[in-house]
Every structure is written in structure tokens, then in C-alpha cells.
Amino acid sequence: MDLSSYHNHYRILVAVDCIIFGFDGTQLKALLIKRGFEPEKGKWSLMGGFVREDEGTDEAANRVLHQLTGMKGIYMEQLCAFGDVDRDPAGRVISIAYFALINITDYNKQLQLEHEAKWFPLSESPELIFDHQKLLLKAQERLREKVACDPIGFELLPPKFTLPRLQSLYEAIYEMPFDRRNFIKKMRSLGVLNKLNEKERGSSRKGAYYYEFNNQHYNHVYKSIKKFV
């Protein structure tokens, strides 16, 4: 292994920061933590950590997510790298941002307490350290783009969900109302819904059927090559 041409170069701290999205049935939220170390200790922040010698950046992001939520096998995607010189006033740190979609009811409350983590509706997020506000906004934007092409919204729901819940989720993501009939029509055309023979009780008089997500017969037409003409 020849490092001769490398070893004179400047090395940089590389962090991963996770934008963790959840949906409580009404609002789209992000999980933020109170930073436990200097600088900016005690301020609100995305969950992050430094990339270690023996792990890839994807692994690092998964580790960080696991540290906070106790969850594995979560939908996660790289957003992009943020590498401005002065983004962290305490030193040169490049951050690689990831966003994750989790079922909000499904994570470890104990870990949440330890990290002083809290779910914030996106419209009411507190002031964040460094450029984390920028990362959060960019993640939200990317989520919208992504959800328009791929059926990934389901990652934010429990395994069984109703159509009204599903619609609320999409309305929360896009911050706009959709027509019920058109929404369902489009959703069904994707071919990813399994209707169950069971109704949700309590939330309404009539009760809404449960569905589950099934990407076995996902209609890839929708995913297929975005072309110009």
C-alpha cells in the first residue's frame, strides 16, 4: 500500500448528520437533539457523529441513526455533502447529510431521553446550530421530489394504515390539500396497496379500512425514465 503521494495532504473531520422524519398522523416532524458537547452545547441540532476509520459513510449514518432511535434497516438516503470552510466555527468539518424516514411510534423512548431528543413539526423547528437549518430545508425539498416518483412515503406509516391517514401524510409532506378521489385514484394506479378486511375503529363512525403497503406489484411505469419529450 503506497501512501507516498497522499500523506502530505490535509485531512478533514467528516461528520454525518441525519435528518430524521416522522409523521404523527397530522404533522410531518423532524427529530432533533440537544447537543451534548461543545461547541454549541445545549443548542438544538441534527443527530450526527464523526465518520470513523473503519466505516463507510453510509454505515456511519446508520450507526448514528441507531444510536438515537435503536432502529435498524431504516429507509435512509444521502442528501448531499456540506463543505463550506466556516460552517462549523470550532473547526473544519465536512458534513455528509442523510435523511431517514421512520415510523414515529416505533423508536426507543429511552434513547430519546438520553439524547434529549424531541420531535418538532417542520414549521416550528427551533433555531439550529451551524448550517443545520439549511440541511433540514434541503431534506424536506428532496423528500417532496422523491415522494413524487417513488412510493417511499409508506416508510413513515405503521404497517397498517387507512387511506385518510395516507392522504394526510402526503398533504403534510406537500403542505397542500389534495382531492380525496383523485388522490386515491393515483395511489391505486401505483399498485402498491393491499386492502385488508379490517377497519379502523374509533377515529370515525363509519370506520376506515386498513391497507398495507406492498411493492411486489409496484407499477414501475411511474418510476421509469424521466425523459424530456
User: What is the nearest approach in angstroms of DNA to the Cβ of residue 170?
Assistant: 12
Instruction: Please report how close the Cβ of residue 185 comes to DNA at its closest, in angstroms.
Output: 6
Q: Which residues bind a second copy (CB under 8 A)?
A: 1-6, 9-14, 37-39, 50-58, 60, 78, 80-81, 83-85, 89-94, 96, 144-145, 147-148, 170, 173-174, 176, 178-179, 182-183, 186, 225-229
Report what 89 binds from a second copy, DNA, none; CB cut-off 5-8 Å by kind: a second copy
Task: Give 74 or 97: the residue with its C-beta nearer to a second copy.
Answer: 97
Q: Which is nearer to DNA, 84 or 150 (CB)?
A: 150
How far, in whole angstroms, is CA 59 from its chain's centroid? 16
Contact call for residues 137 and 44 (beta carbons, < 8 A): no
- 99: β partners: 19, 77
Instruction: For residue 24, give Cα distances in angstroms to 63, 150, 207.
Output: 24, 21, 19
For Cα atoms 87, 34, 20, give the angle at the middle one, nearest 5 degrees: 75
Cell, residue 43: 443548542
- For DNA, the binding residues (CB under 7 A) are 162-164, 179-182, 184-186, 189, 199, 201, 203-209, 229
Helix (H) or strand (E) holding 171: helix 163-174
| DSSP-derived 3-state class of residue 90 | coil
Q: Decide which of a second copy, DNA, none touches 46; Cβ closer than 5 to 8 Å per partner kind.
A: none
80 vs 137, which CB is nearer to a second copy?
80
